[in-house]
Amino acid sequence: MVRKIKAFDAYLNEASLRGNTGIPGEGGSGQESWLDKITARSNAAAREFFNQNQGDIRNFMGLVGQSARLQQGHEEALSKLTTDAFIELYGSLLDGIDLDIKISSKEEVKKKMQETPDESEVEELEELEDANIINQINKRKILRTIQQGKGLSTKAILNLSIFKDGLVEIMGRPKAAEYLTILNKISNVAQFFDWDTPEDIQKEMWQTRQGFAGSCSIEFDKEDAKTPEKEDLAQKVLDDLMNGEDISDNEDAEELISDLNVRIVAKGIDLSVLIHETIKGIYKLITQASLEALYGGSAETVVKNTDTLLDELQEIKFGRQMQSAFFKPVKEHQLVTKRIEEMLKNDATDVQIASFQERLDYLFFNEIAQLGTEDASEMLEVVNAILSESPESEDICDPFIRKALNSIDQEEEYQSWKRGEAQELSGFEDEEEPSYPTMPKPNEIKMTQDEINDAIIDAYERGDMEEVKRLQKMLG
């Protein structure tokens, strides 16, 4: 017999970080809870911050007002600066993705947040007994927490030279310096409030959509999606999917998504928030893609139990610490540290180093997110090992990090080859028909057949079908 739970709060623990087997000490293993350790550490940090920054805490709204006055009239330029910066930082990982990134008013942000359900809008939920569905909920909860935490760690990107120089060009040097200082203060105090504000007050603010400073979403556009023919085709594909059919080789599905546009929509009331929401949106591409293996009602059940506003309360509280622990094996990997040392010796800019680190983190996150598409317990075990910093976690993460590094190297080599081709072709006169060179063979760019196959999979996963075709030609 299936029982119903009428109050969402009564079910919330099932979909919360508490009891999540991907988190050390929460799966009945007898370990000390990772959440308890982080709570104690964060409480101490919050007390110290309060003692040292009482003036900024009391003047928080004044700081927000100052930032609004300084950026007034520059909103469009700041939005373009953010768009250009992320295209440079993430490079080809954002190929085929439209970026709709804008500094917006609080009213625009609030209106956008109205689209996200709170617990009063969620339908009655079945008390789950399917272990795999529970694991999929736990998996998505962790992915969303890391996604949120990565977005909250904006200061490193905000203070890159690409933003510092851009602000000077937009505002002039004195205002740019003042604006950046204020944004850093706002970010620090907001982080303090996220941890220190009592949960009942946060819930009340979130339920009324008050106090929101930003939002992000992933949207899919198709110009002719509303034609009767496309609607019939979409319904046919949907029926196949709901019937549990594998649509990976479905010609109708391929036709339907062939010209699908994916857009990241990020809004923020200032530059710092806009950066935060943009990062969340970029990582949401992977978090959403991890649902693809779940058919019909399973995916719907997972989303209902992880994607309400109140779910974000825990994600915000523990996100920064979780993402820091999650990416620690990447940061400390010997090949990564060696690569960064070489970049520094070669006078690489801070933006070049940040781009390498951001792309590497993103690819590593993607590798972990792909684990457990059918049985999420595998992914939860890996994350548990990473967060607990177990001796075997280094060996577990090593192949994922090496694959991410290899992907970056292949892409850089390909881009270098393209630049060389462009330079060669630029020497032709307009009236002459250029003689395009043939595609290089695998050994010419030092790629094995297995590496090319891996690159094809990576290109397919990020939706770069042009690159897939190019690589397939290399295989002959």
Residue 191 C-beta-side C-alpha neighbours within 13 Å: 26
- Is pLDDT above 80 for 318? yes
467 pLDDT above the threshold of 90: no
Q: Which of 226, 232, 307, 293 is nearest to 8 (CA)?
A: 307
Q: Are 141 and 15 in contact (CB under 8 A)?
A: yes
pLDDT for 26 beyond 50: yes
Which is higher by pLDDT, 425 or 442?
A: 425
Q: From CA 339, how far away is CA 343, in angstroms rounded?
A: 6
Q: What is the pLDDT of residue 408?
A: 92
Output the pLDDT for position 343: 95
Answer with the residue of higher pLDDT: 83 or 300.
Answer: 83
Give the pLDDT confidence score for residue 257 in this predicted structure: 53
Most confident range, picked from 113-127, 274-288, 404-418, 460-474: 274-288
Residue 7 pLDDT > 90? no
Which of 215-229, 294-308, 404-418 tops mean pLDDT?
Answer: 404-418
Phi-psi region of 347 (alpha: psi -120 to 50; beta: other; left: phi over 0): left
* Residue whose entry in the numeric block shows the structure tokens 């970026």: 99
**Domain segments of the chain as ranges:** 4-222+260-427
pLDDT number for residue 262: 85
Distance of alpha carbon 445 from alpha carbon 52, whole angstroms: 55
Mean pLDDT (the chain, rounded): 78
Question: Residue range 190-208: average pLDDT?
Answer: 76
Burial 94-126 (b: 16+ CB within 10 A, else e): beebebebbbbeeeebbebbeebebbeeeeebb
Instruction: Tell me if residue 305 falls in helix, strand or coil.
Output: coil
- pLDDT of 387 strictly over 60: yes
In angstroms, what is the C-alpha Rg of the chain?
A: 24
* pLDDT for position 440: 36
